Chain A
């Protein structure tokens, strides 16, 4: 019962470094999402995808890029990390019923 798997679970970066978070789902879902969770802010949508090869901007897309080359994978990239990107990142997937299935989160610290 894998569901939604995020890697890595923890990462520490220095300002200006780059990294990629990987999300994989095994439920054949069309929709995939990247959210960030910050204290007092709830979950904010960064980018999302409605199908293989498609991506769209969410509420807070600046400083992030995404790709959906395969239906089961959704990658979130930070080209030049900043301390403001310190957060917990959650990937989710869904079909058209809109029940989102979430991964366990990836905690990123940017020094």
Chain B
């Protein structure tokens, strides 16, 4: 079945550093791909998404490109801030007996140090 594999955390960076969080997927067809973010004490919220190959999702300075050839959807940001400290989840759309739902990765905890 469909699955995602995320870079293991935790990740600790200094403010203004470059960020990459790796995500690779296994799927039949070309499912939509997502990054969700969970700030401390909150539920998850959508950060960005891409619905087809070569699409680039972007939001709040974060970007991710849907790479069919490498089955990847890596999350990047050029200059992180303390406020980016959170847990990041990669997810893909899965079809189950005609019903669509999301399958999440295990999450990557990011801590940004001033």
Q: Do A and B come from one complex?
A: yes
Of the listed residues A40, A96, A99, A100, the one surrounded by the most CB atoms of chain B closer than 10 A to its CB is A100
Point out residues on B near A: beta carbons under 8 Å. Answer: 6, 32, 34, 36, 41-46, 49, 89, 93, 96-97, 99-107
Q: Is A74 interfacial (CB-CB < 8 Å)?
A: no
> Does the CB pair A98–B102 fall under 8 Å?
yes
In the assembled complex, 25 residue pairs joining A and B whose CB atoms fall closer than 8 Å, in A order, are A31-B101, A40-B106, A41-B106, A42-B6, A42-B89, A42-B104, A42-B105, A42-B107, A43-B89, A43-B107, A45-B101, A45-B102, A48-B101, A56-B99, A90-B43, A90-B44, A92-B44, A98-B32, A98-B34, A99-B49, A102-B43, A102-B44, A103-B43, A104-B41, A104-B42
The residue in chain A whose Cβ has the minimal distance to the Cβ of B1 is A59
Which residues of A in the span 36-81 have a Cβ within 8 Å of any Cβ on B?
Answer: 40-45, 48, 50, 56, 58
Main SS class of interface, B: strand
A: residues with CB less than 8 A from B are 4, 31, 33, 35, 40-45, 48, 50, 56, 58, 90, 92, 96, 98-105
In the assembled complex, the Cα of A35 lies from the Cα of B43 at a distance in Å of: 11
Q: Closest B-chain residue to A44, C-beta based?
A: B104
B26 to chain A, nearest CB (A): 15
Tell me the bound Cα distance from A4 to B46 in angstroms: 14
Measured between alpha carbons, how far is A48 from B96 in the docked complex, in Å? 11
Min distance, Cβ A61 to any Cβ of chain B, angstroms: 12
A50-B43 in contact (CB<8A): no
Contact B45 A102 (CB under 8 A): yes
> Which chain B residues border A35 with CB–CB below 8 Å?
104
Residues from chain A with a CB closer than 8 A to the CB of B6 are 42
A86 to chain B, nearest CB (A): 18
